[in-house]
Each structure stands twice: as structure tokens, then as C-alpha cells.
Amino acid sequence: MMQYFTRCVISFFGKINAGILIFMLFLAGNFASAQEAEFKTSQSDVGERIDFIQSTFDKGQNSAKLWSYTWMAINGAATGLQTYQAISSRHNRASNVVGASESFLGLAVLIVDPFHARSSGSDLREIPGGTPEEQKNKLDKAEKWLERNYKQEELGRSWLSHVGVLAASIIGAGIVWHYNGSKNGIINGLSNVVGGEALIWTQPTRGIKDYNDYHSEYRDTYGGIPEKKYFIAPSPNGFVVGVYF
């Protein structure tokens, strides 16, 4: 009788263990299917985001090039002309020296801190995106460049830029006033304000709109393609925790 009871108990717990094993395999299968679906969704999402940013970069690149190179040419020509006048003639030399210095400063800013929107589309297109890892890296760079362009354009139109133009104009006008009289000082100051404000107000701002549109379209933050999953399941002695990838 005792042996029969023992066999029944062993058979009963054996069925429980088998059931638990089947349950664990079922969970693992479901998690694997969920991971595969999530992976495909993430891949599609990554490609969509890259295409969105690439399109915005491409649309704003020509106007960014036009603005950047036009102002580089204007400042470069003004620097060369006023430098030549300062060297060749003593007449209003202070005005020419100050004007050349201000124009050179504007040119230097455009060279040292180039307007990134003028090349973002071309640069992004050159980054490979054939594998999931390359796609993720490309999206990371695209998002960083989108934010970089946004910050640069925000700063270019901010009150700091206006204050900088006004400060440089006042300093330059003061120097010219001292050496070449009040009339020349006022002319120099006003011309510098007009030129500086024209540069600020003609600066493209598409990058600001693109950044806001992107974050409006994709409110969530991309966290990368899932590489592994963890699971927990019951066992005869408690619970089993594992990982699959």
C-alpha cells in the first residue's frame, strides 16, 4: 500500500514538473516572438526617423548654403577693400581699420563656427546604414546633428547675438569717433548695426522648425534595438530567472 502511495506521489509531482517545464517553454516562446516583433518594429521606426531627418536636412541645405556663402563673400570683400584703403590712404584710416576688423570678425565667425545646416544633408547621406547597428549609429548622429543645428540657429537669432552686434558697434564707433570725428563714428556705428542685424535676420531658421516637428512627431525617446530579454517562471523550488538573446 505504501509503495503504491509513493508511486502515486512521484507520478503526481512528475506531472507538475512536466507542466511547469511546458509552461516555461511556452513563456520563452512567447517572449521570443514578442522580441522578434519588437525588433522589427524598432528597425522600421529607426529607418522612418532617419528618412524624416534626412528629408528635413535636404530641404534646408540650399538656403543654408546661400546664406552662409553670401555673407562669407560680403565680409571677405569688405575686409579686403577696407584693408586696402587703410594701407593706401591716411584719409579716415581709423574708420577703415575698424571697418576691416569688424568685417574680418564676421568672416572668422562664419569660418570657425560654420553654419552646419549647409552640409548636414550631404554628411548624413554618407554615413552607412546597411546593418541594424549602422542604422542605430546613423540615427544617433542624425538626432545629434538635428539638435546641434537647432541650437546654432536659436543662438544666431537670440538676444545674445543682437547684444553682440550692438556692443561691437559701440566699441568701433567710439574708436572712430576718437580718431576721425563724431560724424565718421556715427556712420561707422550705424553701418555696423545695419550689417550685423541683416546677417541675423536673414539667417535661416528651418533647423528650429525641423527640430520641433521631429519631437512632435516622435514624442518618445528612442532607446535602441532590444538585444536581450529577461524572464521569470515558477519552479518546484520557487522561481526560475533567465535571459535569452
Q: Does residue 80 belong to any structural domain of this protein?
A: yes
Using one digit for the tens of pLDDT, what is the confidence trace for 39-55?
A: 443 667 899 999 999 99
Q: Does residue 227 belong to any structural domain of this protein?
A: yes
What confidence score (pLDDT) does residue 210 get?
96
What confidence score (pLDDT) does residue 104 get?
94
What confidence score (pLDDT) does residue 54 get?
96
- pLDDT of residue 220 exceeding 90, the answer is no
Q: Does residue 9 belong to any structural domain of this protein?
A: no
What confidence score (pLDDT) does residue 190 get?
94
What confidence score (pLDDT) does residue 209 get?
95
Q: Does residue 29 belong to any structural domain of this protein?
A: no
For range 215-242, the mean pLDDT: 50
Q: How confident is the model at residue 219 (pLDDT cuts 50, 70, 90)?
A: confident
Residues 6+ apart with CB under 8 A from 170: 189
Q: Does residue 66 belong to any structural domain of this protein?
A: yes
Q: Does residue 176 belong to any structural domain of this protein?
A: no
What confidence score (pLDDT) does residue 237 get?
43
Domain that holds residue 130: 34-157+203-244
Overall domain count for the chain: 1
DSSP string, 186-203: HHHHHHHHHHHHHHHHHS
Q: Does residue 147 belong to any structural domain of this protein?
A: yes
Q: How confident is the model at residue 90 (pLDDT cuts 50, 70, 90)?
A: confident
Q: Does residue 126 belong to any structural domain of this protein?
A: yes
Copy the grid coordinates of residue 214: 521631429
Copy the grid coordinates of residue 180: 576721425
- Bridge partners (DSSP) of residue 234 are 239
What confidence score (pLDDT) does residue 245 get?
42
What confidence score (pLDDT) does residue 42 get?
65
Using one digit for the tens of pLDDT, what is the confidence trace for 115-148?
A: 999 999 999 999 998 899 999 999 999 999 999 9
Alpha carbons 245 and 240: distance in angstroms, whole number: 17
Alpha carbons 210 and 226: distance in angstroms, whole number: 28
